[in-house]
């Protein structure tokens, strides 16, 4: 499945901003957004485009037959994934993190540590309306119990979308938007 996203905002800085240019250090790409926004599908597209290692806690939890709602275990898996990711970044590899990273403080911590390791850091924020998110979640039928509209609204209130000031801290940052239901949109650069 290919996710068609529309680029609605983009910040590029320095040599790490050129996707096809060889980079001297590793590269961390953070894909953030709410459940159902298409993070995993998009991250898989990036993984195929670059030689990269992708970390998705949902996949690990599913492979281990763990409850996706078990936040304590999810945190342990994300911690383990970050340990591996740091090793890969230190070896100049490209790493894709798709944890959702709802809080700016999470994204800041990842960005600062990756920079300490000499890596370029990129941010991809995938935005979508609650209606689109709910439709996608219902179609994929991954969550048990399923996610309600009320939960999505609560999560949307808690989610800290990247601001232009935050985006400027990354070597490359883009805000991508899922098209509204019933429409198709091609990705474009602004």
Fold of 6-13+25-177: Rossmann fold (3.40.50)
139 pLDDT above the threshold of 80: no
Pairing of strands 6-12, 27-32: unpaired
Q: For 70, how many CA atoms within 13 A lie in the half-sphere containing its CB? A: 15
The terminus-to-terminus CA distance of the chain in angstroms comes to: 25
Distance, in Å, from the CA atom of 68 to the CA atom of 151, rounded to the nearest integer, reads: 15
The tens digit of pLDDT for each residue in 82-110 reads: 999 999 999 999 999 999 899 999 999 99
Closest CA to 13 of 128, 111, 160, 117: 111
The number of residues making up the chain comes to: 190
User: Which band of pLDDT confidence, cut at 50, 70 and 90, is reported for residue 142?
Assistant: low
38 pLDDT above the threshold of 90: no
């Amino acid at each position: 499945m290919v996710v068609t996203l529309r680029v609605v905002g983009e910040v590029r800085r320095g040599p790490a901003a050129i996707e096809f240019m060889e980079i001297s250090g590793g590269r961390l790409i953070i894909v953030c957004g709410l459940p159902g926004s298409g993070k995993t599908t998009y991250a898989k597209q990036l993984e195929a485009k670059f030689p990269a290692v992708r970390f998705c806690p949902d996949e690990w939890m599913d492979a281990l037959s763990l409850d996706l709602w078990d936040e304590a275990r999810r945190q342990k898996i994300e911690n383990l994934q970050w340990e591996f990711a740091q090793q890969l970044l230190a070896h100049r590899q490209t790493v894709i993190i798709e944890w959702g990273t709802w809080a700016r403080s999470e994204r800041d911590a990842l960005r600062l540590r990756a920079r300490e390791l000499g890596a370029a850091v990129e941010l991809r924020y995938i935005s979508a309306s609650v209606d689109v998110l709910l439709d996608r979640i219902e179609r994929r039928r991954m969550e048990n119990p399923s996610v309600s509209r009320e939960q999505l609204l609560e999560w949307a209130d808690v989610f800290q979308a990247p601001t232009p000031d935050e985006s400027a801290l990354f070597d490359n940052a883009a805000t991508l938007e899922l098209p509204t239901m019933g429409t198709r949109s091609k990705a474009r650069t602004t």
